[in-house]
């Protein structure tokens, strides 16, 4: 029987209408804007100034703490400014603006297509390259990868899980890289396996992606035949169900282990990385190439050209959209990410980040919310919740500002998947209220633990 997670979940229409679009390379734009807040944790500190000449792959931002990451120039050119600019959400963040010229890569970066399969023997060398090349998690959280690969001394991983579920409707960038860059992803997995010292790696892919499954299995078999460094790596087919790609859901589906409330995957011996992160790890370690580009899906029924594009980090969304023919009149809303968990894009002048996975255009009809009616206590939201929460109750508590009760009912465990909202026949904006309440409760929990220290 195909594996899946045990609690809740929904089955939205997957609408992978860009699945057949092979990855194309977007021409480098005239100007790029690189955010210093591309990752979870402290924003990087810009180390260039207006007038500086930079090369492709040069460090332009340095980490500001343990949980932070290097940022590199995705282009060659001249720094025009360093200052505040609005990001995708419309929030002012420090960006480095660079006017581009033809690429001149930093020395030591291998830009050839040669596949490097030999795994370095020293885990520290691997880890140092991941850190120096600014790799962050590309599954949504953008947590610095080098930090995630170093569990605290009292915790030990025994399994690395690669997330190839891509369970959000519309998104196909992971699907395309699993077909087109399968060997690189498997080599990335072997590199992380070496750092973690685990014997087992499972690459989980949903059954609506048979071509990706075939391609990844062939890559694993081919590499395992050539070196013992690739032993213990397997591809597992998962039953399609949203949110299969949630860390806790994936661990449940693959190992049957349950991560407790407020717990982390490492508590049950697991580390989860996205397939796109694994590709970035390959580039960082085997090619010494920083994370300066990523594959982005541009899609939506109202959009004229479905695409999967390899885009330099810092590319204005408007450059991408213009290259594809411009925004159609019928598009009412643009979303970064999928329709279930994605965030509205405040303006198309904002630039892509390392973690940007898609631009989804929706029509007025697709975004129109139906008028909210009274809760009929049908329980569908609770049935759908993959975290075993009671969304109808959390919504009620949130609307009444009952923070203590919200914490007791584990609002902090909400993964903001939107299954409750998707299931509710009364069209109650459960996700909005619960997400806000979760933010408040997490602030309370953090300040309480800070006071205890």
User: Which of these segments, 107-115, 165-173, 219-227, 416-424, binds ligand SF4 (CB under 6 A)?
Assistant: 416-424
* CB-CB neighbours of 105 under 10 Å: 15
Task: Give the Cα separation of 267 and 255 in Å (integer).
Answer: 13
User: Which of these segments, 47-55, 176-184, 269-277, 370-378, binds ligand SF4 (CB under 6 A)?
Assistant: 370-378
Closer residue to ligand SF4 (CB): 211 or 416:
416
Residues 302, 305, 311: CA angle, nearest 5 degrees: 120
The answer to whether residue 233 forms part of the interface with ligand SF4 (CB under 6 A) is no
Task: Give the Cα separation of 348 and 262 in Å (integer).
Answer: 35
Closer residue to ligand SF4 (CB): 126 or 430:
430
Closest approach of ligand SF4 to the CB of residue 438, in Å: 8
| Dihedral over Cα of 74, 80, 81, 85: its sign | negative
| Stretch 431-450 residues interacting with ligand SF4 (CB under 6 A) | 431, 434
The answer to whether residue 263 forms part of the interface with ligand SF4 (CB under 6 A) is no
CB of 37 within 8 A of CB of 94? yes
| Stretch 203-232 residues interacting with ligand SF4 (CB under 6 A) | none
Closest approach of ligand SF4 to the CB of residue 444, in Å: 18
The answer to whether residue 417 forms part of the interface with ligand SF4 (CB under 6 A) is yes
Closest approach of ligand SF4 to the CB of residue 398, in Å: 11
On the 0-12 / 13-18 / 19+ scale of CB atoms within 10 A, 52 is middle
The answer to whether residue 93 forms part of the interface with ligand SF4 (CB under 6 A) is no
Closer residue to ligand SF4 (CB): 96 or 411:
411
Distance (Å) of CA 35 to CA 239, 264, 280, 354, 378: 37, 28, 19, 9, 45
Closer residue to ligand SF4 (CB): 278 or 395:
395
CB of 73 within 8 A of CB of 58? yes
CB of 273 within 8 A of CB of 412? no
Candidates 11, 124, 369, 377: give the one binding ligand SF4 (CB under 6 A): 377
Candidates 201, 250, 387, 441: give the one binding ligand SF4 (CB under 6 A): 387
CB of 265 within 8 A of CB of 248? yes
Q: What is the DSSP string of 124-152?
A: HHHHHHHHHTT-B-TTTT--BHHHHTS--
Task: Give the Cα separation of 212 and 162 in Å (integer).
Answer: 13
The answer to whether residue 425 forms part of the interface with ligand SF4 (CB under 6 A) is yes
Closer residue to ligand SF4 (CB): 195 or 420:
420
Closer residue to ligand SF4 (CB): 70 or 422:
422
HSE-CB of 175 using CA atoms within 13 angstroms:
25
The answer to whether residue 385 forms part of the interface with ligand SF4 (CB under 6 A) is yes
Cis-peptide, bond into residue 80, ω within 30° of zero: no
The answer to whether residue 381 forms part of the interface with ligand SF4 (CB under 6 A) is yes
The answer to whether residue 416 forms part of the interface with ligand SF4 (CB under 6 A) is yes
Candidates 73, 306, 380, 398: give the one binding ligand SF4 (CB under 6 A): 380
Site size with ligand SF4, rule: CB under 6 A: 28
CB of 376 within 8 A of CB of 420? no
Candidates 423, 433, 437, 441: give the one binding ligand SF4 (CB under 6 A): 423
Task: Give the Cα separation of 216 and 205 in Å (integer).
Answer: 9
Give residues in contact with ligand SF4 (CB under 6 A): 375-381, 384-385, 387, 389, 391-392, 414-420, 423-426, 428, 430-431, 434
């Amino acid at each position: 029987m195909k594996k899946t997670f045990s609690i809740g979940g929904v089955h939205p229409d997957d609408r992978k209408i860009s699945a057949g679009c092979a990855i194309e390379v977007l021409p480098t734009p005239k100007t790029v804007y690189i955010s210093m807040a591309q990752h979870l944790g402290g924003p990087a500190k810009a180390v260039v100034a207006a007038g500086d000449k930079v090369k492709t792959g040069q460090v332009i931002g340095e980490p500001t703490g343990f949980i932070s990451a290097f940022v590199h120039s995705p282009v060659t050119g001249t720094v025009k400014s360093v200052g505040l600019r609005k990001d995708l959400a419309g929030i002012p963040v420090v960006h480095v603006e660079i006017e581009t010229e033809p690429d001149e890569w930093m020395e030591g970066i291998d830009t050839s297509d040669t596949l490097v399969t030999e795994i370095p023997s020293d885990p520290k060398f691997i880890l140092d390259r991941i850190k120096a090349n600014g790799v962050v998690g590309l599954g949504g959280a953008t947590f610095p990868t080098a930090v995630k690969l170093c569990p605290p001394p009292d915790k030990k991983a025994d399994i690395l899980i690669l997330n190839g579920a891509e369970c959000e409707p519309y998104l196909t960038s992971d699907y395309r890289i699993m077909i087109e860059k399968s060997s690189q992803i498997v080599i990335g997995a072997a590199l992380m396996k070496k750092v973690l010292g685990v014997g087992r790696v499972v690459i989980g892919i949903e059954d609506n992606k048979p071509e990706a499954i075939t391609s990844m299995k062939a890559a694993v078999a081919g590499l395992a035949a050539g070196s013992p460094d690739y032993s213990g790596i397997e591809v597992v087919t998962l039953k399609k169900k949203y949110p299969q790609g949630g860390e806790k859901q994936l661990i449940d589906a693959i190992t049957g282990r349950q991560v407790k409330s407020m717990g982390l995957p490492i508590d049950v011996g697991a580390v989860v990385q996205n397939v796109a992160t694994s590709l970035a790890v390959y580039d960082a370690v085997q090619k010494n190439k920083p994370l300066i580009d990523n594959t982005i899906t541009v899609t939506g029924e109202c959009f004229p050209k479905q695409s999967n594009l390899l885009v330099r980090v810092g590319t204005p969304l408007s450059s991408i959209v213009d290259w594809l023919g411009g925004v159609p009149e019928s598009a009412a809303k643009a979303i970064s990410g999928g329709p279930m968990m994605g965030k509205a894009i405040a303006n198309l002048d904002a630039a892509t980040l390392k973690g940007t996975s898609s631009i989804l255009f929706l029509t007025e009809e697709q975004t129109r919310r139906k008028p909210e009616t009274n809760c009929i206590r049908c329980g569908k939201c609770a049935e759908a919740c993959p975290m075993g929460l009671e969304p109808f109750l959390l919504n009620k508590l949130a609307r009444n500002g009952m923070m203590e009760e919200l914490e007791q009912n584990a609002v902090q465990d909400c993964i903001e998947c939107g299954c409750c909202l998707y299931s509710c026949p009364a069209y109650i904006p459960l996700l909005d209220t619960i997400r806000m309440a979760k933010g408040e409760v997490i602030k309370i929990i953090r300040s309480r633990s800070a006071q205890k220290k």
